[in-house]
Chains A and B, each alone.
Chain A
């Protein structure tokens, strides 16, 4: 077998690069992270003609090689490092036929790195409607490249692209633009100082603030310190370079491209007139949010009930079929309930990612940014903060990563700090189960369901707190930073089913696997702690219970339950719970809830799994988590443990507390210091405790 071809997909955002990637690789793709950073790394395998296989790397979207964010750094770092194992044999630059001019800027830069480069012109199916004609042959000639005209929507042109990739050796590596014309003298000096290096590469190394970790240190050191020009002069030269490139592109396109502008006036302007309207724009945005909300709460409840029941039945089946013993108990009482607590998430997460990826794919998200920028700025945020705040309803981790395109550091920092207040999907199972227990299921004003209203209230509280704390932070933080904002308003597109589906599957999978690992580990530990105990009290629990029954404390039918609860009380976890009980008692919780809260500092969704594990230890009946929780009795006050007061208190605690280690880790990575995540942890959790305390004491 021959060596795999390394192919890098490069392109501006919104060019359909991901669709091209999906078409090339199908489901043979995987998403990971670049080592040490949180930038998503998508790669896949593509079968080419004549038995050749290609390893395709989908690089983050970028407008140029002048990196201004971590994501863009990844692109330039790879392209400058010949020793990287992913260094491309051939670069495929994806462009959109309607934005060819802007897309070609990046193309000329890549080409000048002397990497064999293929130009993909995507969305070819739109050409006719937009009255665009292209002289491909001439364009190929002028850009000294091969062009694949494809349509990822209609799935055309890909065979040709694969053919071109296979024959990459025939591609010319002549540069398009001679960058040294912007400062001949300076480039001359460069050439003399480093005769062995490629000139344009040198220029990029000098002008970028990239950390060239993987490159040869010594050599780079001397290059980056080669500064005969001041920083601001270098910036001016970069601008000049951009202008020179555009001059070249304009010249090329003048000969090869023609657009009938009259025909191009179309759907975009008609949709924009409504969707960015001063009044209707906001109404529509709000309606969409309501729809998303409805889907998460209402539509996903059916599959969720089904999952809940299935796991209860599976536990029962394991108990009945497998030989009794510690191992069976571990599976039936530890692992299965714990896993059930995470699998139950799938419908909601899938719905959330479904909506978010549709909004992004369609181009609507940019309109929201446009509409909200002015309003968000009042609170120290940016219009671009809307994307993190909305996707924060799925998960704070991708949301915090999505703040990277906010140019202003202060706005970005505030967005990062307040995003964890938005109601992420990990809070949902906690909310849902507690709402189901303490809020009556009845209609208000005929159309609204009370439970659903409470849930919506919690979302609003989360969002409101985020906005309010942003406003406070804006006044407290003294950070000077340039206020510069630019966002592309892409064309409206019908989202491609394949892209959306892959995205939903991929995101859901990584969430479930990531959280599942923690939850599985925690549920096993919890089970061990709950089914063992120190000293005689635990071992004698059964004898004690029998004695108490004989003394007439409770009827025989309750024996099993009494044994279980006594055992639990004297288990390791029972002692631990008792130790923290004084802290959670004023909030209306017993020690079991206390344990669940402590374990959910690893991740919120552990709460339900923990309670499920604790409650199922020693219980024989097939029961759902909800029924078990409803049956819990407050040991001191009597009555159900989960009543209105303790329920509301719990809801509020979960709304505000910072209980997600992964989020803290991401915040540390994005802000580059422990200061901000630690502040988040202390302030949010402290606030949560105080609010929960007040709520409980007021209602009880």
Chain B
């Protein structure tokens, strides 16, 4: 199932598929947020924003707005 990253729930894992942004921020890629990598939602702040992610062992936080532009494929149970 493909969803945007901001819909992931805490503790869930998924695979990054693609970005729906015209221009993907280079910094995001450099921090390891690349298609094909596994992402886990570690923690969310109140209002689900920002989101604390673990992408293949690289831990970072991004805002919900950015996350909504990242499509991921959720693992089937």
Contact = CB atoms under 8 A, between A and B. Distances in A.
Interface residues of A, number: 41
Contact of A483 (B29, B42, B47, B65): B65
A238 B26 contact: yes
Contacts of A490: 59
A101 B57 contact: yes
B50 A272 contact: no
Contacts of B56: 101
Interface in B10-60: 23-34, 42-43, 45-47, 49-50, 52, 56-60
B18 to A, nearest CB: 13
Interface stretch (A192-200, A367-375, A535-543): A367-375
A484 B34 CA distance: 16
B25 A486 contact: yes
Nearest to B33: A486
A370 B52 contact: yes
B63 interface: yes
Nearest to A369: B61
Given A105-B30, A239-B26, A246-B34, A485 B59 contact: no
A242 interface: yes
A605 B59 CA distance: 42
B7 interface: no
Given A486-B31, A488-B31, A489-B59, A383 B26 contact: no
A269 interface: yes
Most buried by A among B23, B30, B56: B30
Contacts of B49: 373-374
A374 B62 CA distance: 11
B67 to A, nearest CB: 11
Interface stretch (A61-69, A213-221, A520-528): A61-69
A107 to B, nearest CB: 13
Nearest to B62: A486
A278 interface: yes
Contact of A272 (B43, B46, B57): B43
A58 B59 CA distance: 25
Majority secondary structure, A binding face: helix
Contacts of A276: 43, 45, 52
B57 A235 contact: no
Contacts of B65: 483
Contact of A374 (B32, B47, B57, B66): B47
Contacts of A486: 25, 27-28, 31, 33, 60-62, 66
Contact of B57 (A66, A246, A259): A259
Contact of A487 (B33, B57, B61): B61
Given A259-B57, A373-B50, A66 B63 contact: no
Contact of A489 (B24, B29, B47, B61): B61
B27 A371 contact: no
Majority secondary structure, B binding face: mixed
Interface string A479-498: 00001111111110000000
A101 B23 contact: no
Nearest to A488: B60
A64 B30 contact: yes
A383 B50 contact: yes
Contact of A101 (B32, B45, B50): B32
A484 B58 CA distance: 18
B63 A483 contact: yes
A63 B28 CA distance: 10
A627 interface: no
Nearest to A482: B25
B66 A489 contact: no
Contact of A102 (B26, B32, B62): B32
A99 B28 contact: no
A407 B62 CA distance: 12
A2 interface: no
Contacts of A239: 24, 26, 29
Contact of B23 (A232, A269, A371): A232
Contacts of A371: 45
A68 B42 CA distance: 27
Interface string A237-280: 01100110010000000000001000010001100110010100
A242 B29 contact: yes
A366 B62 CA distance: 12
A235 B61 contact: no
A98 interface: yes
A127 to B, nearest CB: 14
B62 A98 contact: no
Contacts of B52: 272, 276, 370, 489
A370 B61 contact: yes
Most buried by A among B25, B56, B66: B25
A485 B66 contact: yes
Given A66-B30, A276-B43, A485 B57 contact: no
B60 A484 contact: no
4 smallest beta-carbon distances between A and B, as pairs: A489-B59, A242-B29, A64-B30, A485-B63
Interface of A: 63-64, 66, 68, 98-99, 101-102, 105, 232, 235, 238-239, 242-243, 246, 259, 264, 268-269, 272-273, 276, 278, 366, 369-371, 373-374, 383, 407, 483-491
Given A105-B30, A239-B24, 16 more contacts: A102-B32, A259-B57, A269-B42, A273-B43, A278-B46, A366-B61, A370-B61, A371-B45, A373-B45, A373-B49, A373-B63, A374-B46, A483-B63, A485-B50, A488-B59, A489-B59
Interface of B: 23-34, 42-43, 45-47, 49-50, 52, 56-63, 65-66
15 contacts: A63-B30, A66-B26, A239-B24, A239-B29, A246-B29, A246-B32, A246-B34, A374-B46, A484-B25, A486-B25, A487-B60, A488-B59, A488-B60, A489-B60, A491-B59
